[in-house]
Amino acid sequence: MLKFAAALGVCAVLAHPAFAAAPAAPTVNKGDTAWMMTSTVLVLMMILPGLALFYGGLTRAKNMLSTMTQIGAVACLAMLIWVMWGYTMAFGDGGNDFISGFGKAFLAGITPDSTAATFTTGVAIPEYVFICFQMTFAAITIALVLGSVVERMKFSAVMVFAAVWLTIVYFPIAHMVWASGGLFFKMGALDFAGGTVVHINAGVSALVASLILGKRIGYPTERIVPHSLTLTGVGTGLLWVGWFGFNAGSALEANGSAGLAMINTFVATASAGLFWMLAERVNGHKGSALGFCSGIIAGLVAVTPAAGNSGPFGAIVLGAVASVICFYAVSVLKPKLGYDDALDAFGIHGIGGMIGAVGTAIVYAPSLGGPGKPDFAIGGQIVTQLAAVATTIVWAAIGTVIATYAAKALTGLRVAPEVEREGLDLGEHGERAYNY
Partner 1 sequence: MKLVIAIIKPFKLDEVREALTEAGVAGMTVTEVKGFGRQKGQTEIYRGAEYSTNMVPKLKIEVVCAADLAPKVVEAIQASANTGAIGDGKIFVLDVGQAVRIRTGETDETAL
Q: Which strands form 27-28's sheet, in the order they lie side by side?
A: 27-28, 123-126, 115-117
Alpha carbon distance 16, 1 (integer Å):
11
Angle at the Cα of 134 from the Cα atoms of 30 and 151, rounded to 5 degrees: 135
Shortest Cβ 292–partner 1 spacing (Å): 11
Alpha carbon distance 299, 319 (integer Å):
5
Written in H, E and C, the secondary structure of 232-276 is HHHHHHHHHHHHHHHHHHHHCCCCHHHHHHHHHHHHHHHHHHHHH
Shortest Cβ 330–partner 1 spacing (Å): 5
Task: State the residues that interact with partner 1 by CB under 8 A.
Answer: 220, 223, 225-226, 283, 285-286, 288, 290-291, 294, 327, 330-332, 335, 344
Beta-carbon neighbour count of residue 379 at 10 Å? Answer: 8
Shortest Cβ 279–partner 1 spacing (Å): 9
Shortest Cβ 55–partner 1 spacing (Å): 14
User: Interhelix angle for 171-178 vs 127-145, to 10°?
Assistant: 130
Backbone CA torsion sign across 372, 347, 162, 57: positive
φ/ψ (deg, to 5) at 109 = 80, 0
Cα dist. 411→65, 150, 157, 349 in Å? 20, 16, 6, 27
Shortest Cβ 331–partner 1 spacing (Å): 2
Shortest Cβ 285–partner 1 spacing (Å): 5
Length of the chain: 436
For partner 1, the closer CB: 154 or 334? 334
For partner 1, the closer CB: 285 or 373? 285
For partner 1, the closer CB: 191 or 341? 341
For partner 1, the closer CB: 225 or 337? 225
Looking at the chain, the number of H-run helices and the number of E-run strands are: 21, 3
Angle at the Cα of 353 from the Cα atoms of 179 and 293, rounded to 5 degrees: 130
- Give CA 54 to chain center in angstroms: 15
Shortest Cβ 293–partner 1 spacing (Å): 10
Shortest Cβ 267–partner 1 spacing (Å): 24
For partner 1, the closer CB: 177 or 322? 322
CA within 13 Å, CB half, 327: 28
For partner 1, the closer CB: 331 or 404? 331
For partner 1, the closer CB: 335 or 366? 335
For partner 1, the closer CB: 165 or 276? 276
